[in-house]
Amino acid sequence: MKTILILLLLILAHVPCVPVADGAESPFPDENIHIKADSMDHGQSDGLFSARGNVVVTWQGLNLVADQATYDSNSHILLAVGNITVSKGNDVLKGQSLSLNLESGRAEMDQATLTIPESNLSFTGEKIIRENETEFQVSSTELTTCDLPDPSWKFGADKLKVNVLGYATGRNIVFYIKDVPVMYLPWIAFPVVREKKSGLLFPKMGYSNARGAQLDIPAYWVISPSQDLLFDLDLLSKRGVGTGLDYRYIRTRGSEGHLGGYQIYDALKDRWRWQIGQSHKEIFSPDANLRMDVNLTGDRSFLGDFGEKSGDYNRQSTDTTINVLKAWQHYALTSYLHYSEDLYATDNRATVQTLPAVELAGVRQSIFKTPLYFDIDAGIANLYREAAPSGQRLQLFPRVTYLTTLNGYLQVSAFAGAHVRGYTTDKRAADSEVKSSAGELAPEVGVRVSTSLSRGFDVQSANLKKVRHEIVPEVSYGYIPERAQQRLPFYDYADRLLWKNTLGFSVTNVITGKFAYGETSEYREISRIRLMLDYNIEGQRRDLLTLADNQHYWSDLVLESDTWLNRNMRLTFDSRYNFRDNRLTAAAVGLDVDDRQGNSIGAGYQMARDQVEYLEGRLATRYLKPFYLSYLARYSFDRSDFLESVYSVEYRHKCWSVTSAIHQRPGNYSYTFNFNLAGLSGK
């Protein structure tokens, strides 16, 4: 192939605007243009250059390939015909004829295709006009993210405006499946790049026996790189028109949060109903922050009727907490507000609200470089509820701990402290023994003795190379004297310190392994099993589902275990066994398997003293690709009914997908359907 520079062939052409170097006139009209071809001709009189056969033109980062090309050095216009491909960066423009103005950068191409790999979008049209590096106009166009020339879906339009850094917009749009028109849109705008862009998202459709037919139309707005807003118009045939929003933001130093809400004029209840949710984290400095979590509803049955919108339909309460923390080297000061709505209670009169509380925590500090250490927990709270009693509570628990190691392997700690509580009561029942002001001081002492026995082993297996086995036995003793507390108000368990004279026994078994995967290795815990048992010499103790249990000397035997059977399989088993009744009083078993490639299965069983008993199962698989299946179910043995069942099927094509799901709960079922176009759906 003969290679010629157009700069050399145009040496005799005179262009007044040509830049000069070192004070001399440049002999080249366009210093950045290079042309390669099988053969080329140059007209000296008209400044016209012609190239034929395997033409390659480069100009300002743009690369053009064509069968033939001509360049007019006077008008700076390049014409090309035949199998044209123009590329710059990742964007590719193909067609049969091209006119390019090298001064303005404007280009026109007939029978063209524009491909933008960042979004996998392709535009085809009778004519594509390149206004500049980022803006195009396409007439009689079709666009798709599917492979050409036979796309599964496409949009057709008379004219589109495309900004490769932003959006494509057009009017009078027809949506086709294959070549069949199925939907008309008067206007459309969608992001051309994969970065977050504002626009309408694809609607979600469904049906519920409680809400009727549903059409959810979401709109997404990118306010700034650190802020976005999702707005929903929710059309429900039985309940009315709902509106929802979710505003997210990121601030400096890791501060972030979101504000969401939903409201609807419920045609069935003939009144406005709403929900507000907010979370916020404000980092003032490494040792000072504010955290806010707000959950409010307009009525106590809102979540049961509309909670599926936010996923909160099975909440037992709505809780709002505002917390401010300031930490120093040895102390941390916290102030918080807490408001709760008990959705399982008949009303909220007896629910305690903390408005506000201030707490101080002091970590262990050595006393004059001795084996003695001091720590303290303190707090004062204003506790309010509509039902009696209400008032203020002061709590202090200073403690001194002695730490030592005997014979180099036996760790011993002994502590002595005092629980100081003081109350002022603003509201109390007429027949209550609670006094307007009361206080109490209760000492507490305890001893803990433990040791650690460990050994390492070399293992010859495919991935597991070393194993460390550690056993930690521990014996403890705790004592709190008996006393009457009826004159003190009761807000929570902290107001009733149980009489305790108890020995505790536990042993923890830990297995840790070193795993090698090629040139990399990692240490991770394989198994942790802990057994715990208490002997109550006298007194009381808190037990499962009860405030106090003083009937038995021996507590339940508690087993807690967490074991990775292999890298993808985890088994958890927690249980409580009652020796007096010779039966399990509680059990929680869970098995999860995940191959980390989209296939997972899990099952769990929960039981507690015949009060709660249910089985949960989860399944997700892509083995039937292109079908992706998932299933979730929870069955209650005490109710003899399913608490929840969710079936979901997704069909994924290279450029589109369809998701269908069925949700079933007692007294309520719903169906949802969602159609997604690759590159155009989601945010």
Q: How far apart, in whole angstroms, are the C-alpha atoms of residue 504 and residue 557?
A: 11
Cβ atoms of 618 and 589 within 8 Å: the answer is no
pLDDT over 80 (residue 511): yes
Sign of the torsion formed by the C-alpha atoms of 428, 434, 435 and 440: negative
pLDDT at 7: 30
Mean pLDDT, all residues of the chain: 86
The kind and range of the H/E element at 550 are none
- Model confidence at 17: pLDDT above 70: no
Higher-pLDDT residue of 247 and 115 is: 247
The pLDDT tens digits for 137-193 are: 888 888 888 888 888 888 888 888 888 777 778 888 898 888 899 888 888 777 666
pLDDT tens profile 282-307 = 999 999 999 999 999 999 889 888 88
| Distance, CA of 226 to CA of 597 (rounded, Å) | 31
Distance CA 444, CA 447 (A): 11
Residue 239 identity:
R
Give the pLDDT score at 581. Answer: 82
- Spatial distance between the Cα atoms of 280 and 257, rounded to a whole number of angstroms: 4
Collect contacts of 1-5 with beta carbons under 8 A, ≥24 apart: 1/36, 1/37, 1/38, 1/54, 2/37, 2/38, 2/39, 2/40, 3/36, 4/35, 4/36, 4/37, 4/40, 5/34, 5/35
DSSP 125-183: EEEEEE-SSSEEEEEEEEEESSPSSS-SEEEEEEEEEEETTSEEEEEEEEEEETTEEEE
pLDDT the model gives residue 427: 85
Percentage of residues of the chain with pLDDT beyond 70: 90
Q: Does residue 493 sit in helix, strand or coil?
A: helix
**In whole angstroms, how large is the CA radius of gyration of the chain?**
37
Is the model's pLDDT at 5 over the cut of 60? no
pLDDT level of residue 125 (50, 70, 90 thresholds)? confident
Taking Cα atoms as reference points, which of 487, 486, 498 lies closest to residue 550? 498
User: How many angstroms separate the CA atoms of 377 and 367, rounded?
Assistant: 17
Q: Poorest-confidence range of 25-29, 42-46, 197-201, 677-681?
A: 25-29
Task: Give pLDDT, residue 683.
Answer: 54
Predicted local confidence at residue 472, as pLDDT: 97
Range picked from 29-38, 72-81, 121-130, 594-603 for highest mean pLDDT: 594-603
- How far apart (Å, rounded) are the C-alpha atoms in residues 502 and 538? 7
Across 200-209, 346-355, 653-662, least confident range: 200-209
Q: What is the CATH class of 6-186?
A: mainly beta
Residues in a beta bridge with 469: 455, 511
Report the DSSP beta bridge partners of residue 378: 360, 396
Mean pLDDT for 366-383 is: 95
Amino acid at position 616, single letter: E
Q: Report the 3 state secondary structure along 671-682.
A: EEEEEEECCCCC
What integer pLDDT is reported at residue 199 of this predicted model?
A: 67
Contact 242, 268 (CB under 8 A): no
Q: Where does the pLDDT of residue 24 fall: very low under 50, low under 70, confident under 90, or very high at 90 and above?
A: very low
Return the number of other C-beta atoms located less than 10 Å from residue 534's C-beta: 21
For the ranges 22-31, 119-128, 501-510, 539-548, which has the lowest average pLDDT? 22-31
Instruction: Pick the more confident residue, 506 or 486.
Output: 506
In this predicted model, what pLDDT tens digit does every residue of 44-60 receive, in sequence order? 667 788 888 888 888 77
Mean pLDDT, rounded, for 332-339:
97
- pLDDT of 29 strictly over 50: no
Residues 669, 663 contacting (CB under 8 angstroms): yes
Contact residues for 397 (Cβ-Cβ < 8 A; gap 6+): 376, 377, 378, 417, 418, 419, 420
| Burial environment of residue 291 by CB neighbours within 10 A (0 to 12, 13 to 18, 19 or more) | middle
| Tokens found for residue 2 | 């003969």
Which range has the worst mean pLDDT, 38-52, 260-274, 333-347, 493-507?
38-52
Tens digits of residue pLDDT in 476-486? 999 999 988 88
When pLDDT is cut at 50, 70 and 90, the band that residue 652 belongs to is: confident
607-650 residue pLDDT tens = 987 778 999 999 999 999 999 999 999 999 888 899 889 999 99
Task: Please tell me the total number of residues recorded for the chain in this structure.
Answer: 683
439-492, pLDDT tens digit by residue? 999 999 999 999 999 999 998 888 889 999 999 999 999 999 998 888 899 999
What pLDDT, in 10s, does the model give residues 89-98? 777 888 889 8
| Side-chain-facing half-sphere of 324: CA atoms under 13 Å | 6
Are the C-beta atoms of residues 160 and 138 closer than 8 Å to each other? yes
- Give me the amino acid identity at 80: A
Helix (H, G, I), strand (E, B) or coil at 254: helix
Long-range CB contacts for residues 45-52, cutoff 8 Å, separation at least 24: 46/72, 46/74, 47/10, 47/13, 47/72, 47/73, 47/74, 48/72, 48/73, 49/6, 49/9, 49/10, 49/73
- Is the pTM for the entire model greater than 0.95? no
Would you call the peptide bond into 149 cis, given omega within 30 degrees of 0 as the criterion? yes
